[in-house]
Amino acid sequence: MSDDQKASFDRPADGPEATLPGFEHVNRYWNRGMGVFIAKILPGEFYVTKTDELIATTLGSCVSACIWDPENKIGGMNHFMLPLTDKDAKEVTWGNIASDATRYGNYAMEHLVNEMLKYGAIRRNLRAKVFGGGKVLSQATDVGAKNADFVLLYLHQENIKLEAQDLGDVYPRKVLFDPKTGKAKMKRIQVQNNETIINRERDYRKSINQAPVEGDIELF
């Protein structure tokens, strides 16, 4: 039985508050010990909420940006696998599926910020904490470092205040984020005990390299 399944026992009878439109597919479970619902996002996903719940993910070479508006109590997290260069962007054929685009850092960031603004966040209020970018895959190119460099540059260019970061090195991370308060907890994971994370990223990388990129977004 997984940790998520164990944590689902004693779930409140009335269930969780409804998600914002477009996020119904994200796995949410009741954590009995913490007394709170947690939305768990996977590579290529992002999540925005205004309710009293947490957002969690596990990162290897991927990066997650945790962004929130402390005044309007709304926040979200993304989980992206690759940065996207201008050259790559010209080769993209757009559709209307955000999850295909959000494998890439610039679209993952734009989708996350746009959704937050749509549901009441004010751009000048935005704060960020960023995690991940570990060199956990044995390859010549350090994708984790490129992801880390990208997210820091994005926040700087968009004037989003960076409150904290834990990027790089060689280990995976587990991240738990409170989107209303901006509080985040991170746990570093021993690589040798987490081949599942490495294999999942390797498989996901293969799948996204083969799939076309689709998504409908207004860049700014």
Distance from the Cα of residue 104 to its chain's centroid? 11
Residue 126 · residue 161 · CB < 8 Å: yes
CA dihedral 193, 198, 200, 204 (to 10 degrees): 170
Alpha carbon of residue 130 to chain centroid: 9
**Highest mean pLDDT range out of 14-18, 70-74, 81-85, 166-170?**
70-74
**Residues near 218 by beta carbon (within 8 Å), at least 6 away in sequence:** 114
Residue ranges covered by each domain of the chain: 3-210
Residue 30 confidence (pLDDT) above 60: yes
The whole-angstrom distance between residue 66's C-alpha and the CA centroid of its chain comes to 7
Structure tokens at 62: 């991927």
pLDDT in tens, 167-216: 999 889 999 999 999 999 999 987 655 556 666 666 655 554 444 333 33
pLDDT at 190: 76
Q: 10 Å Cβ neighbour count for 60? A: 28
Taking only the tens place, the pLDDT of each residue in 36-63 is: 999 999 988 999 999 999 999 999 999 9
Pair 16, 38: CB distance under 8 Å: no
In the chain, the N- to C-terminal Cα span, in Å, equals: 44
CA distance 88 to 76: 26
Reported as a single tens digit per residue, the pLDDT across 77-96 is 999 988 874 444 444 333 33
Angle at 79 between CA 78 and CA 81, to 5 degrees: 140
Architecture of domain 3-210: 2-Layer Sandwich (3.30)
